[in-house]
Structure formats: C-alpha cells, structure tokens
Amino acid sequence: MAPIRVGVLGIGSMGRHHVRNVKNTEGFELVALADPAGDRFGVAGGMEVLPDVESLIGAGIDAAVVAVPTVYHEDAALKLAAAGVHTLVEKPLAADVESGERIQKAFADAGLVGAVGYVERCNPALLEMRKRIQDGQLGRVFQIITRRQSPFPARISDVGVVKDLATHDVDLAAWVAGSTYETIFAQTACRSGREHEDLLVASGRFANGVLVNHLVNWMSPFKDRTTIVTGEHGALVADTTMGDLTFYENGSMPVQWDQIANFRGVSEGEVTRYALTKREPLAVEHEHFRDAILGVGSDHVSMEEGLTALRVVEGILQSAAIGQAVTL
C-alpha cells in the first residue's frame, strides 16, 4: 500500500513537533511544508517551505496537519476540506463555536477524516487511568479535578488561558468521565497586563452526576499537569508531565484514633505507582490519525468532539463574564 502523503501547515513551536512525528510515523510520507514565517526552527531539512495552504494542497497531499494560530484554523481547514484532504487540526478546533461548526460540517459533508489535536488523550498516564476506571477499579466515580499551571508561553498571542490550556482539561475530563458537561461556573482574571485572561477557576457537574473542577493559569513559576479522579474505592492521580499514574486505595484497616475516625469518610490504604510504557503522546496521536484515514481505527478525537469542547470553553468564558453558572 502506498504511504499517505502528508503536508504540515505551520512549522512553529507546535508544528515542528508534528513534522518530526509525521516523518517517524509508519505509513506516512512527509511531502510538503508550509509556513509564511519560514523555517524558524530549522526543521525543513532541505525541503522547500511553501508560503500558504493553497501551495500545500498543490503539492498533492492526501492528509494535512494544521498547526497555525487558532484564528487561521477555519480558512485553512475549509480549503483543505474542499480539496478532499483528511486533516488534523491542532486544538482548539476554531476560534469560536460558529467557526467550528462550519469546519465540522465541511469535513462531514465531504466524508473526510477530521481530527483535533487533543494530545492529552494519548498521554500514557491518562490512557491507563481511563482503562482502569472503565474496568471498575474506582467503582462509582465521584469527582474529577485537573490542575494545569505554568509560566506564560511566549508562543501564545491570539487567545487566553481558557482556549489554549483549559480546553485540554475540558476535553480530557469529559473523556475520562464518559459524560458531557451539564453545568459550569467559572471565574477568570488578567494579572499579567495582556489582553486575554491568564487565570481560571471553574467548577461544574457532568450529566452523569460526576463533579468537576479545573484550576488553570499562566502565572505559576512551575509546571503542574495533574488529573485526580476520586471514586468509592480510592483515587487515581495522573502526572501527565511525567506520564506517571498512582492509585491511592481506600484502606480496610480501622482507624483507632477516635478524633480522626469521627471525621474521616475513608481511611488511608495502600499506594501503588504503576510502571507504564511511556511513548510520546504526539506519536500516538499521529498513529490514531493514520488509522482513521485507513479505516482501521477510531481513537482519534473527532471534530464533533472538538466542537463539543469548544462549546464548553465558550460556556466557561460566558460564565466568567456574567458571574453566574451556565447550563450547557
């Protein structure tokens, strides 16, 4: 079978990693690169860097990765759909819901694979966490908490922390919970002098009754990528920076200190850190995209799912603006 001819649009801070992974993905052939800003990171390796999406399409590609700033997603994606090119668009799907709806419809109408780059779904810790939850390790799930904190990344200029970072947590929490957001209440703040928000606290409830909380900011002098899922049998804690997963089991030993026993809902049990096979999440994401194109897999994040996450993100921003909870 001939390899899938792939082009990458945008070879900046994120696109350069897509270039590397396209080259290393079995069944893919990197045939074209495009970026109006040129090859800032020196990843072209002698390939010509084309100026725009039209020239990328003209190179005769079967599939594309779009890694340009969010405001340019719609223009690029609609042109690729019209040209019959399967496309992986970096998250978020679009700058707003209306734009996302146009993108999603274009790919659905054309019968093409449209994927969104929510790479956290390919993180080894979260893949294992979700499998264990589905297998019943936690029993009934009560609550999901995510923390995503770090210094401000200079690469971001077109959106705030909600659309750039929180969108990851919105998608992964719903994926782990196996449900959709029912309500959300959020508060945001700008403390860095930039146009967009750089801090977020949000809480809500999924349709299946699971509670959810997101803490996200660009104002922490350290990097924190943590997902905690608490259920009736204990808690699973994923450190997605390191790809580590730890299980804190509810204990079976009675607490003999009355002052503690009277106030504790559960007792401390064994703690287990799992040994996981740790592959680069972006490599796994590319394999999922390839398999969807070949019709042998469906583990990619669809544009329908990307659009759902975008609706929740806009609900978060709406809630922060009006100071009230939003029903989704």
Chain position carrying tokens 């590609």: 61
pLDDT tops 60 at residue 302 = yes
User: Do both 219 and 147 map to the same domain?
Assistant: yes
Q: What CATH number does the domain containing 175 carry?
A: 3.30.360.10
| Three-state DSSP class for residue 301 | coil
Quickly state the pLDDT bin for 172 (edges 50, 70, 90): very high
User: Do both 171 and 251 map to the same domain?
Assistant: yes
Distance CA 264, CA 271 (A): 18
Q: Which domain holds residue 15?
A: 4-119+283-302
pLDDT tops 70 at residue 308 = yes
User: Do both 112 and 69 map to the same domain?
Assistant: yes
Q: Could you report the per-residue pLDDT of 120-157, keeping only the tens digit for each?
A: 999 999 999 999 999 999 999 999 999 999 998 776 66
With a threshold of 0.95, does the pTM exceed it?
A: no
Q: Return the pLDDT at 250.
A: 92
- Report CA 182 to chain centroid distance, whole Å: 20
User: Do both 39 and 127 map to the same domain?
Assistant: no
User: Do both 126 and 269 map to the same domain?
Assistant: yes
Q: Return the pLDDT at 268.
A: 81
Q: What CATH number does the domain containing 60 carry?
A: 3.40.50.720
Q: Could you give the number of structural domains in the chain?
A: 2
User: Do both 135 and 157 map to the same domain?
Assistant: yes
Could you tell me which residues come within 8 angstroms of residue 27 by beta carbon, excluding any fewer than 6 positions away?
1, 3, 4, 290, 294
Give the CA distances from residue 189 to residues 150, 154, 195, 225, in Å, rounded to whole numbers and listed in that order.
15, 19, 11, 20
- Mean residue pLDDT of the chain comes to 94
